[in-house]
Chain A
Amino acid sequence: MSIPDGLWYSKDHEWARLEDDHAVIGITEFAQGELGDIIFVEFPKVGQKFSGGDTFGTVEAVKTVADLFMPLDGEIIEVNNALDEEPDRVNSDPYGAGWLVKVKLSVPGGTGDLLDAAGYKELIG
Chain B
Amino acid sequence: MTQLKRTPLHDRHLALGAKLTPFAGFEMPLQYDGIMAEHKAVRTAAGLFDISHMGEFAVSGAGAESFLQSLAVNDVAALQVGQAQYSAICRPDGGLLDDLLIYRRENGYMLVVNAANIAGDFDWLRAHAGADVTLQDISDSTALIAVQGPHSRKVLEAAFGEQLAGLEFYHFSETSAGGAPAIISRTGYTGELGFEIYTSPDAAPDVWDDLLRAGTEFGIRPAGLGARDTLRLEMKYCLYGNDISVDTNPIEAGLGWITKLDKGPFIGSQAIAAVKAAGPDRRLVCLVLEERAVPRPGYPILAAGEPVGTVTSGTQSLTLKQGIALGYVARGFTKTGTELAVEIRGRRAAARVVKPPFVSGTSLMD
Known: A36-B31, A36-B226, A39-B316. Contact between A62 and B36, CB under 8 A? yes
Q: Please measure, in the bound complex, the distance between the C-alpha atom of A62 and the C-alpha atom of B226, giving whole angstroms.
A: 8
Contacting pair B226 A40 (CB below 8 A): no
Tally chain B residues at the interface, Cβ within 8 Å: 16
Contacting pair B345 A37 (CB below 8 A): no
Give chain B residues whose Cβ lies under 8 Å from the Cβ of A40.
292
Sample of 7 further A-B pairs with CB below 8 A, known A36-B19, A63-B35: A36-B226, A37-B36, A58-B345, A60-B316, A62-B35, A63-B226, A91-B34
In the complex, B125 has a CB within 8 A of chain A:
no
In the complex, B30 has a CB within 8 A of chain A:
yes
A65: contacting residue among B35, B230, B294, B318, CB under 8 A: B294
Q: Can you list 8 residue pairs at the A/B interface with Cβ under 8 Å?
A: A36-B31, A37-B34, A39-B316, A60-B293, A60-B316, A63-B30, A63-B35, A65-B294
In the complex, B249 has a CB within 8 A of chain A:
no
- CB-based nearest A residue for B30: A63
Q: Please measure, in the bound complex, the distance between the C-alpha atom of A37 and the C-alpha atom of B292, giving whole angstroms.
A: 16
- CB-based nearest B residue for A39: B316
Q: For B31, B34, B293, B294, which residue has the most chain A Cβ atoms within 10 angstroms? A: B294
Q: Please measure, in the bound complex, the distance between the C-alpha atom of A118 and the C-alpha atom of B145, giving whole angstroms.
A: 43
A-B contact count (CB 8 A): 30
Give chain B residues whose Cβ lies under 8 Å from the Cβ of A39.
294, 316
Q: Please measure, in the bound complex, the distance between the C-alpha atom of A62 and the C-alpha atom of B318, giving whole angstroms.
A: 9
Contacting pair A65 B34 (CB below 8 A): no
Residue positions of B touching A, CB distance < 8 A: 19, 30-31, 34-36, 226, 230, 292-294, 296, 315-316, 318, 345
Within 8 A of B (CB), among A27-71: 36-37, 39-40, 58, 60, 62-63, 65
- CB-based nearest A residue for B39: A62
Q: Please measure, in the bound complex, the distance between the C-alpha atom of A39 and the C-alpha atom of B318, giving whole angstroms.
A: 9
Give chain A residues whose Cβ lies under 8 Å from the Cβ of B34.
36-37, 91
Contacting pair B316 A62 (CB below 8 A): yes
Nearest CB of chain B from residue A89's CB, rounded to whole Å: 14
A contact patch SS: mixed
Q: Please measure, in the bound complex, the distance between the C-alpha atom of A65 and the C-alpha atom of B30, giving whole angstroms.
A: 16
Nearest CB of chain A from residue B228's CB, rounded to whole Å: 12
- CB-based nearest A residue for B294: A60
Tally chain A residues at the interface, Cβ within 8 Å: 11
Nearest CB of chain A from residue B40's CB, rounded to whole Å: 11
Nearest CB of chain B from residue A93's CB, rounded to whole Å: 15
Nearest CB of chain B from residue A29's CB, rounded to whole Å: 14
Nearest CB of chain A from residue B30's CB, rounded to whole Å: 7
Give chain A residues whose Cβ lies under 8 Å from the Cβ of B294.
39, 60, 65
Q: Please measure, in the bound complex, the distance between the C-alpha atom of A77 and the C-alpha atom of B345, giving whole angstroms.
A: 25
Give chain A residues whose Cβ lies under 8 Å from the Cβ of B35.
36-37, 62-63
Nearest CB of chain B from residue A107's CB, rounded to whole Å: 30
Give chain A residues whose Cβ lies under 8 Å from the Cβ of B31.
36
- CB-based nearest A residue for B227: A62
Nearest CB of chain B from residue A103's CB, rounded to whole Å: 22
Give chain B residues whose Cβ lies under 8 Å from the Cβ of A60.
293-294, 316
Q: Please measure, in the bound complex, the distance between the C-alpha atom of A49 and the C-alpha atom of B30, giving whole angstroms.
A: 38
Q: Please measure, in the bound complex, the distance between the C-alpha atom of A65 and the C-alpha atom of B296, giving whole angstroms.
A: 9
Contacting pair A62 B230 (CB below 8 A): yes
Nearest CB of chain A from residue B220's CB, rounded to whole Å: 19
- CB-based nearest B residue for A33: B19
Nearest CB of chain A from residue B356's CB, rounded to whole Å: 21
Nearest CB of chain A from residue B349's CB, rounded to whole Å: 12
Nearest CB of chain B from residue A14's CB, rounded to whole Å: 19
Nearest CB of chain B from residue A69's CB, rounded to whole Å: 15
Give chain A residues whose Cβ lies under 8 Å from the Cβ of B318.
62
Q: Please measure, in the bound complex, the distance between the C-alpha atom of A60 and the C-alpha atom of B295, giving whole angstroms.
A: 10
- CB-based nearest A residue for B344: A65
